[in-house]
Amino acid sequence: MTRAEENYLKTIFHLGGSSSHLVSTNAIAEQMETKPSSVTDMAKKLAEKGLVEYTKYQGVSLSKTGLKTALSIVRKHRLWEVFLVETLDFSWDEVHEVAEQLEHIKSEKLIDRIDSLLGYPKFDPHGDPIPSKDGVFFEREQQLLSEMKPGSTGVCVGVKDTSSNFLKFLDKNKIALGDTIEIVEIEDFDQSLTITINGQNMSISHQIANNLYVKKQE
Amino acid sequence: MTRAEENYLKTIFHLGGSSSHLVSTNAIAEQMETKPSSVTDMAKKLAEKGLVEYTKYQGVSLSKTGLKTALSIVRKHRLWEVFLVETLDFSWDEVHEVAEQLEHIKSEKLIDRIDSLLGYPKFDPHGDPIPSKDGVFFEREQQLLSEMKPGSTGVCVGVKDTSSNFLKFLDKNKIALGDTIEIVEIEDFDQSLTITINGQNMSISHQIANNLYVKKQE
DNA sequence: AATCGTATTTGGACATGCCTAAAAATACAT
DNA sequence: ATGTATTTTTAGGCATGTCCAAATACGATT
Ligand SMILES: [Mn+2]
Ligand SMILES: [Mn+2]
Ligand SMILES: [Mn+2]
Ligand SMILES: [Mn+2]
C-alpha cells in the first residue's frame, strides 16, 4: 500500500464514499488538489486491487477492505493529533500537517503503544471520533450552532472548518470544545448570534456559528 | 529533499564520506541493497544540488550542506529510537526499522519537542551519539572488547552489530550498556574470552567480543 | 430528438527512482 | 607494458504518480 493509495482511500472516506453513495472524480480531485485525470488513473488502480468499486463515469466507493484501510489511516491520523497536543504541547491548529505525515508510518505496535500512552482517547483535538483498532467508532451527536433556536443551549463538541485561521480565532475568543453555549438572540439582519459562553455575552457571525458543532442540551 | 535523497546522504555519512575520504559507488550500493547504476544516477543528482562532491570513477563525499542534512537525519533517527525505548517501551532490537520511517518526518518543532520530552539525551539505545540541533556530537571513546588485554577492565558503551539477533543475544545473557566487564582470560585456541560481568564469570566467543564496544577503565 | 455545457476519460508526456545489459575506465597481475 | 578482472558508467526500459489537451459521455434544456 503506497502513500498515494492511502491518501486516495482516506479522501474517498471523508467524502462519504460508501455502497450507498458514489464519490465523483471531480470531488476527489478538488479535495486532493489534483487533476481529475489523475483521479481516474488511481481509481482504476484501486479497483484493480479490490479497494474500491469503480464504474466509469459513475464514481467510486470504498470496498470492505478499502473502508478498513481508510479507517486505519484515519485512526492513526487522529491518534497522532492527540499525541501532539497532549504529550508534546502542540496547539490544535498546528497538528494536522504533521499528522498527515505520521499517519503513513507503518507499525501496528507503534500506533497501539501511542494509543495506550494516551489512555485510549475517543476523540481527537478537533472533536472527531477515533476509530478503534477494529474500525468501530461512534458518530457523535451534533448539529451546527447555526441551526439552533434562540433560547436553546448546547455544548461545543467539534469544528467543521479545521483551518488554522478558524482554530486560532476560537482560541483568541476563548471558545473551546466542552464549553456550554446558550443562544440569546439571532439578528434578523445578518443572522449574527448573541451567545452566552463562560458567563459572558458575545456576538458571533453566522459564518462562525455555521462552523461550530454543538450537542443540544435539554 | 526527497526520502531517497535523504537515505543516500545518510548512507554516505555512515560510510565516512568526508573531504578526506571518498565513498565508492559499490560501497553505497551494497549498503543500500541497490545497484551501482542507481547510485551513479543519484550521485549526479545530489552533486547537481550541491549536496555531494562527485568525480566520475572516483567516488562521492558530502558537501558542507550535505553533511548538515545527513546529521539532521541521523539526529532524528536516534532521537526517535530513544523515544520508542523510553516512552513507548520498545526493546532496543525493535526500534531501528520504525526509526527508518520516522526519521523522514518533516517538522522542526516535532523533533525539538521529542528531544525536550526525552531530556536531551546524548546517546541512542545502542550507544550511538546523538548530534545536537547544530550538528555537534561527541565521538565516544571506545574500543572493541576483542582488542583488550586479559586483566583489563572496561565499561560497555556500544554495539557494532546492531542486528536484532545480536541484541537479543545480549539481552538473554544479561549484557547491557553500562555494564562493567573484566577480561579474565583469552583462549589461544579460538580467541574466546572468559569475562567477569555483574559479579559472574562467563565465556563469550571472539565474534561476540568483536561486536561490543567498551570504554577502558584505569 | 437534437443541442449544449459540464464531467470524465483517453492518449501522450514528464519526473523520480529503480533495473539490466553492454561499454568504458580503472586497478591489478604477470 | 600488456592483458585480465573489477568497478563504474551509459543506454535503454519499467513502474508510479502526476499533468495537459483532446475526445467522449452524460444530463439538462429545448
Ligand atoms: Mn487532521
Ligand atoms: Mn483532527
Ligand atoms: Mn538505528
Ligand atoms: Mn541506533
Nearest nucleotide (C1') to alpha carbon of B8: C17
Residues in chain B closer than 8 A to A105 (CB atoms)? 98, 101-102, 105
* Mean pLDDT along residues B9-26: 92
Task: Give yes or no for a contact between A105 and A113, defined as CB atoms under 8 angstroms apart.
Answer: no
* Contact call for B109 and A97, based on CB within 8 A: no
Q: How far is the CA of A5 from the C1' of D29 (A)?
A: 39
Mean residue pLDDT across chain B: 97
Question: Whole-angstrom Cα distance, residue B95 to residue B71?
Answer: 19
Assigned C-alpha cell, B18: 568526508
Assigned C-alpha cell, B81: 529510537
Determine the pLDDT at residue B6.
98
Q: How far is the CA of A56 from the C1' of D24 (A)?
A: 12
Residues 6 or more apart whose CB falls under 8 angstroms from that of B135 comprise: B67, B68, B71, B72, B75
- H or E element in which residue A138 lies: none
pLDDT in tens, B57-92: 999 999 999 999 999 999 999 999 999 999 999 999
Q: Is the CB of A105 under 7 A from strand D?
A: no
pLDDT along chain A (218 residues), means of 10: 98 89 97 98 98 97 97 98 98 98 98 98 98 93 96 97 97 97 96 96 97 94
* Contact call for A107 and B114, based on CB within 8 A: no
Cα→Cα distances B84→B79, B91, B96, B118, B213, Å: 9, 8, 10, 10, 23
* Mean pLDDT along residues B205-216: 97
Q: Binning pLDDT at 50, 70 and 90, where does residue B35 land?
A: very high
pTM equals 0.94
Domains and CATH numbers, chain A: 3-62 (1.10.10.10), 143-217 (2.30.30.90)
Residue matched to cell numbers 458575545:
A202
pLDDT in tens, A78-127: 999 999 999 999 999 999 999 999 999 999 999 999 999 999 999 999 99
Nearest nucleotide (C1') to alpha carbon of A5: D17
Q: Binning pLDDT at 50, 70 and 90, where does residue B218 land?
A: confident
Q: Binning pLDDT at 50, 70 and 90, where does residue B19 land?
A: confident
Residue B201 pLDDT > 80, yes or no?
yes
Residues in chain B closer than 8 A to A88 (CB atoms)? 110, 113-114, 117
Residue B17 pLDDT > 80, yes or no?
no
Determine the pLDDT at residue A17.
74
